[in-house]
Chains A and B, each alone.
Chain A
């Protein structure tokens, strides 16, 4: 079955360390997205990519970086510059067109202490 795989499900890091969250999709979608979810905050857009080798900042890109070297993969790096990195991170993809829904992975819960 096609879908989006995020790994790992839980991730623990010490403050000051960079950490990379994996996102892989086999849906053949061009567009991929990273959202951050905090209690009571809904989903906030970090970065998105419409095509390989291109990506755009979302609403809360500071302290994060991404790459899009392959259509299937869109890893997110949480850098030490991110002031409050503990959160639930969701990766998603979709087909072109405003009416197309997002397909989500099961998320990675990052805890930084």
Chain B
């Protein structure tokens, strides 16, 4: 079945460092791809999405490009801030009506000043 694999954390960075969180997927057809962020004690918030190959999603300095050839959707940010400390989830939505999103296990990011 469809699945999402993302790099295990925690990822620990200093402020202004470059961030990459790897995400690869297995799916039939052409899924939509998402990154969500979760702050402590809260629900998940959509960070960005891409719905077809070569699309780039971007928001708040974060970017991810839908790469069909490598089945990847890596999250990047050029300069992280302490406020970016959170758990990041990669997810896919199969291209079928009536299906739910499938999530990776999450990657914890900790940024220190």
User: Which residues of A are at the interface with B, using a C-beta cutoff of 8 A?
Assistant: 4, 6, 31, 33, 35, 40-43, 45, 48, 50, 56, 58, 90, 92, 96-107, 109
Contacts and interface: CB of A to CB of B under 8 A. Distances in A.
A50 B98 contact: yes
Interface residues of B, number: 27
Contact of B105 (A42, A45, A56, A103): A42
Contact of A98 (B44, B95, B104): B95
Interface of B: 31-32, 34, 36, 41-46, 49, 51, 89, 91, 93-101, 103-106
Given A102-B46, A106-B41, A107-B43, 11 more contacts: A33-B100, A42-B104, A42-B105, A43-B44, A98-B93, A99-B32, A100-B93, A102-B34, A103-B46, A104-B44, A106-B43
A88 B40 CA distance: 12
